[in-house]
């Protein structure tokens, strides 16, 4: 920012107080640059530091042309004229002691720069290096945030009041480095001083401004950090800002260093950041189930057998309490796929405590120790991870919503319950209640990391393998990746993701799916489970169907019963028109066309999960009904030629194809330029768009929220795989393909992918046919009506 900057403080002030006997032109320059209060009892303290402050600002921002040089010289002359022949008396009590912020109470809010300069001048005038160090830091903040100085200068004053030895400060940031370091580099140097005072970390946060993030928060969007990658020891994080409908409005990547860096390392770090996206794609692809970087269950079995033979032999009585805590942490990391840095704050609740606390609503690990040497434990997690669009209050018979807002409970599986009993019984009952795991176990993050490093080092040297801690932690989620909905894993970890905006689940199915998948996994790594012999080793019985009283998640998912009512309504309407004579049928052809196009649109919205945009249905040039696919721009974020591929079931494609063949059969229009779905109005084709579809819905008394199509498809897909006894196993990639949800670099239709849309359409159509079976009878009735229209004559 240029210096001096008169635009920030453009208000005028009268020539009174300290500005008396000064030319009005010079008064305005000093006032607009520094905003010095006209009635300043401590004005004499600025006689030396204000010219010094001005000189430092000129050195930090050298003039770029003659105009800026003239501006700086004029401000220097105005400052000198301000102090010329001007002596303002101060109280004797103030002269005898150092100035504190209490003495400047009336000026702190409106004149923060004046207050800080007075405090520096009065408390550090005896040490020239000390005076220059704090004045330079003030100048750097002033040049970066001239219009918002209160908060950063407040943090600076708190750090300055600690009277830190100047040799300690100059050891990390020298006087010369204030002139050569960038804001980012200066921030990294100040972070190192955080060990001396946490206020330096606060000061460093103001040296790098992020106006885009603040602007997004004002819009009421929710920030999701679903994708996190380890990038050469640092953390690469993807931030997505999502509205209540689950649409991503903005996303970007950030690279957070694991430790403070030198200037040379920061330059290298910046070059790495430029290539962060490609590295993120690579890291994310390494998390795929068939990736060679993933640790297989057999490889994990080898590590556990070598490092923890007592567990495999069921001889836990011979290990120490601390050793057992280490293995509790390992299996918690394995079960939740989260590092100890995130698990250590997990609170443990003793169910047998006498303290009056509502245990069922407290997120954390709840347990109770039995007299026969067992530990019963379950994990309480919250179900409200995203702020999605809510259903109207009077639509409980339409959408799968539940008033049950109690948290979700997951059974802590074997061997965690077996491991928890041994160390917990040796801890005082009052200390192991409502306290975090790190407090109860007395194991901090560094201790655990060193212990695990020794175990891995010993195993790698003995077995000639290369196992990492991250591979051990992610082994279970690699094993079940794609086998269960990703939203289930998000609920288990307590991390929000895009699919939570669209999927609706019930608590019993979630508990059953996660628990039994874990038991299958530990069988793969060599644990022998006998039913009823070990706590947490029994498989749960599969729910017969979805329990709507325990459902949670997406609030606009249409119930199966309501879909059946819609299908029955259209079936009866089609049969009614099919039984009409040809003359009456021709007279009501417009109503028939509205009914058929509304049905096709409704089926396409449910099958393809269309978004409620203005024109969801494309022209003929973007459709291939013979292959059950079409492309559309059904998202506001789609720019230029970006389209989304929509898959349909074969029956719907046949209905749509026969309707369009009859509709345009005798016309002289260019079919490729016409809308792929249209109805008749006064003998002319009317494109089926959002407004027309809503009008038809109103006429037919169909009350559906346009956002319910995608939620219904996602929920129906998951429920069909997890509940229907004859369905195939769940495959997350098939659902992602239909919903167009992909992580970075994993799209099956990328530029260099071998999959073709026609090949994918075959598998998707078969799946959709089973999902849309509720419309089988209405589909047949619609085809019969279209056949009668074909026999009766042409449309245009």
pLDDT digits (tens, 9 = 90+) for 49-65: 888 998 999 888 887 78
Q: Which of 448, 419, 455, 379 has the alpha carbon at shortest distance from 527?
A: 419
pLDDT digits (tens, 9 = 90+) for 123-139: 887 788 888 999 999 99
Q: Does the pLDDT at position 277 exceed 50? A: yes
Q: Which two tokens stand for residue 544?
A: 């017969």
Q: Can you tell me the distance from the alpha carbon of 433 to that of 347, in angstroms, rounded to the nearest whole number? A: 8
Q: Does the pLDDT at position 193 exceed 60? A: yes
pLDDT score, position 796: 39
Q: What is the DSSP letter of 674?
A: S
Instruction: Flag the least confident range among 92-101, 714-723, 785-794.
Output: 92-101
pLDDT score, position 779: 94
pLDDT score, position 326: 94
The dihedral through the CA atoms of 719, 720, 724, 728 has a sign that is negative
Q: Which of 342, 409, 333 has the alpha carbon at shortest distance from 376?
A: 409
Instruction: Flag the least confident range among 25-34, 282-291, 414-423.
Output: 282-291
133, 170 Cβ separation under 8 angstroms: yes
User: For the chain, how big is the Rg over CA atoms in Å?
Assistant: 35
Chain Cα centroid distance, residue 10: 41
Q: Does the pLDDT at position 501 exceed 90? A: no
518, 367 Cβ separation under 8 angstroms: no
Task: Give the largest Cα separation in the chain, rounded.
Answer: 110
Number of CB atoms found within 10 A of residue 69's CB = 13
pLDDT digits (tens, 9 = 90+) for 525-538: 888 766 445 666 77
Q: Can you tell me the distance from the alpha carbon of 713 to that of 465, in angstroms, rounded to the nearest whole number? A: 45
pLDDT digits (tens, 9 = 90+) for 294-351: 788 888 999 999 998 888 777 777 788 999 999 999 999 999 988 999 999 999 998 8
């Amino acid at each position: 920012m240029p210096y001096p900057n008169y635009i920030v403080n453009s208000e005028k002030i009268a020539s009174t107080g300290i500005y008396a006997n000064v030319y009005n032109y010079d008064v305005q320059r000093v006032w607009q640059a520094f905003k010095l209060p006209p009635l300043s009892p401590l004005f004499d303290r600025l006689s030396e530091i204000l010219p010094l402050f001005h000189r430092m600002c000129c050195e930090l921002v050298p003039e770029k042309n003659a105009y800026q040089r003239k501006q700086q010289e004029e401000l220097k002359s105005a400052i000198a004229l301000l102090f010329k022949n001007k002596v303002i008396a101060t109280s004797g009590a103030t002269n005898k002691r150092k100035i504190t912020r209490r003495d400047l109470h009336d000026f702190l809010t409106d004149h923060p720069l004046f207050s800080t300069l007075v405090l520096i001048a009065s408390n550090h005038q005896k040490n020239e290096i000390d005076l220059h160090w704090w004045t330079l830091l003030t100048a750097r903040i002033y040049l970066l945030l001239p219009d918002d100085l209160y908060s950063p200068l407040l943090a600076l004053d708190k750090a300055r009041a600690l009277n830190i030895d100047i040799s300690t400060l100059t050891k990390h940031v020298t006087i010369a480095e204030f002139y050569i370091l960038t804001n980012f580099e200066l921030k990294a140097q100040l972070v190192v001083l955080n060990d001396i005072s946490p206020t330096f970390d606060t000061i460093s946060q103001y040296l790098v401004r992020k106006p885009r993030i603040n602007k997004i928060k004002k819009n009421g969007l929710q920030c999701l950090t679903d994708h996190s990658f380890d990038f050469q020891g640092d953390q690469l994080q993807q931030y997505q800002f999502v509205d209540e409908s689950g649409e991503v409005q903005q996303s970007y990547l950030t690279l957070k260093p694991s430790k403070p860096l030198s200037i040379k390392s920061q330059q290298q770090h910046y070059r790495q950041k430029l290539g962060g996206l490609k590295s993120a794609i690579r890291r994310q692809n390494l998390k795929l189930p068939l990736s060679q970087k993933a640790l297989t269950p057999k490889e994990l079995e080898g590590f556990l057998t070598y490092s923890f033979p007592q567990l495999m032999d069921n001889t836990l009585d011979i290990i120490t309490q601390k050793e057992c805590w280490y293995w509790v942490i390992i299996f918690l990391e394995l079960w939740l796929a989260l590092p100890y840095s995130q698990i250590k704050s997990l609170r443990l609740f003793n169910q047998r405590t006498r303290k009056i606390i509502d245990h069922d609503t407290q997120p954390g690990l709840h347990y109770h120790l039995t007299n026969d040497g067992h530990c019963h434990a379950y994990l309480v997690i919250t179900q409200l991870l995203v702020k999605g669009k809510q259903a109207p209050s009077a639509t409980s018979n339409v959408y799968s919503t539940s008033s049950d807002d109690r948290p979700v409970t997951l059974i802590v599986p074997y061997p965690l319950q077996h491991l928890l009993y041994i160390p917990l019984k040796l801890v005082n009952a009052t200390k192991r209640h409502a306290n975090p795991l790190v407090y109860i176990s007395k194991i901090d993050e560094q201790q655990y990391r060193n212990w695990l490093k020794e175990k891995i080092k010993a195993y790698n040297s003995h077995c000639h393998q290369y196992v990492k801690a991250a591979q051990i932690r992610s082994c279970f989620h690699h094993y079940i990746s794609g086998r269960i909905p990703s939203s289930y894993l998000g609920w288990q970890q307590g991390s929000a993701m895009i699919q939570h905006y669209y999927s609706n689940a019930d608590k019993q199915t979630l508990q059953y799916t996660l628990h039994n998948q874990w038991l299958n996994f530990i069988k793969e790594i060599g644990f022998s489970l006998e039913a009823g012999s070990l706590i947490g080793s029994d498989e749960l019985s599969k729910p017969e169907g979805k329990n709507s009283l325990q459902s949670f998640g997406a609030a606009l998912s249409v119930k199966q019963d309501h879909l059946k009512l819609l299908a029955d309504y259209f079936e009866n309407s089609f049969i009614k028109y099919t039984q009409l004579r040809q003359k009456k049928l021709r007279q009501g052809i417009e109503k028939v066309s509205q009914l058929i196009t509304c049905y096709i649109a409704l089926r396409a919205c449910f099958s393809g999960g269309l978004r409620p945009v203005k024109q969801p249905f494309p022209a003929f040039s973007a459709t291939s009904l013979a292959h059950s696919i079409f492309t559309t721009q059904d998202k506001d974020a789609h720019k230029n030629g970006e389209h989304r591929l929509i898959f349909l079931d074969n029956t719907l494609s046949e209905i749509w194809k026969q309707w369009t063949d009859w509709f345009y059969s005798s016309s002289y229009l260019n079919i490729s330029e016409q809308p792929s779905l249209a109805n008749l109005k006064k003998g002319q084709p009317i494109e089926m768009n959002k407004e027309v579809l809503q009008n038809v819905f109103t006429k037919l008394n169909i009350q559906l929220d346009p956002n319910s199509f995608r939620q219904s498809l996602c929920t129906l897909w998951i429920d069909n795989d997890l509940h229907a006894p004859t369905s195939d196993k769940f495959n997350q990639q098939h659902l992602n393909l239909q919903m167009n949800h992909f992580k970075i670099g994993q799209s099956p239709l990328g530029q260099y992918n071998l999959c073709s849309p026609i090949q994918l359409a075959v598998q998707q159509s078969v799946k959709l046919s089973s999902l849309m079976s509720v419309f089988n009878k209405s589909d047949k009735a619609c085809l019969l009506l279209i056949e009668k229209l074909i026999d009766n004559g042409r449309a245009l």
